Amino acid sequence: MTLYGEMTKADWMKALHIKDENIPTAFILHGEWEHAWNIEIWKELLAEEQWIPTWNAITGNYNQTRIGFANVFGGPQAAMIAHRFAMLGTEIMIQTGYFGGLSKQASYGDIFIVTGAYMEDGVSRWYLSEQDMVYADPMLVNEAIAYCEEMNYSYVTGNIYTTSAMLMETKELVEDWSNRGFIGVDMETATTFAVASKYNRRAVGLLNLSDHLIQGDTLYSRIANYEQIEERTDQRIREIALYLSSLGK
């Protein structure tokens, strides 16, 4: 009997009924509660040779690169996607989605290029039990920075604190994380980075500021024109993610 942690690439190919030609070079994992509209956007982007492996994921070709996209919420969902496709041979994992702001270095509209993630999500330590931090691939980070500078997109770099219980955040916790130098907090990045590291894959995070916690903002009280800023920044992040995906060819 072979259990999940013992499964090989061949086992996963059989379980998912996937052929080699359908295995993505890169996978974009998008952390967000609502998934339906994200899937529709990516169905249009990845329309060529499309294959849907799970309810929250899609794969297809974009400019001759095989790319996967999945909407995930929290570490367990991120791991379910990242683990299987890392085992299948996907080379690049790109975490997108949103973060709560912990630093005045970040502003609404900035793209947060994550260089490292603190592993307080409850999942990542199953993959990397001997450490607290897990880091992005330096080359992918540098490529993302270069792209932003070329396109004149505002960005910030640094470390994120990945947790598993967003609604338990308090002023005291937020101030502590801020004082420790974290740019933001999220629920997926450390998981995706840890799975990638475990299986010798490359990973990076590209996140959009959703609620500037250190300024007292929440999802229910933030700047008036947030939706316009969010949409523009999401579009830029998709653009960069597609560019980085092409580097795995």
* Dihedral angle computed from the Cα positions of residues 162, 165, 167 and 169, in that order, rounded to the nearest 10 degrees: -50
Whether residue 113 is predicted with pLDDT greater than 90 in this model: the reply is yes
Whether residue 73 is predicted with pLDDT greater than 90 in this model: the reply is yes
Domain 4-248 has CATH 3.40.50.1580: yes
- Total-model pTM: 0.97
Provide, rounded to the nearest whole percent, the portion of the chain with pLDDT above 90.
Answer: 93
The whole-number pLDDT of residue 249 equals 63
Average pLDDT for residues 13-33, to the nearest whole number? 95
Structure tokens at 228: 């316009």
Average pLDDT for residues 112-140, to the nearest whole number? 98
Whether residue 1 is predicted with pLDDT greater than 80 in this model: the reply is no
pLDDT band at 240 (very low <50, low <70, confident <90, very high): very high
Average pLDDT for residues 72-78, to the nearest whole number? 98
Average pLDDT score, the chain: 96
Whether residue 34 is predicted with pLDDT greater than 90 in this model: the reply is no
pLDDT band at 222 (very low <50, low <70, confident <90, very high): confident
Give strand pairing partners of 203. Answer: 93
Buried b (16+ CB within 10 A) or exposed e, 217-243: beeeebeeebeebbeebbebbbebbbe
Distances (CA, A) of 95 to 6, 217, 221: 25, 23, 26
The domain spans of the chain are 4-248
The whole-number pLDDT of residue 120 equals 97
pLDDT band at 7 (very low <50, low <70, confident <90, very high): very high
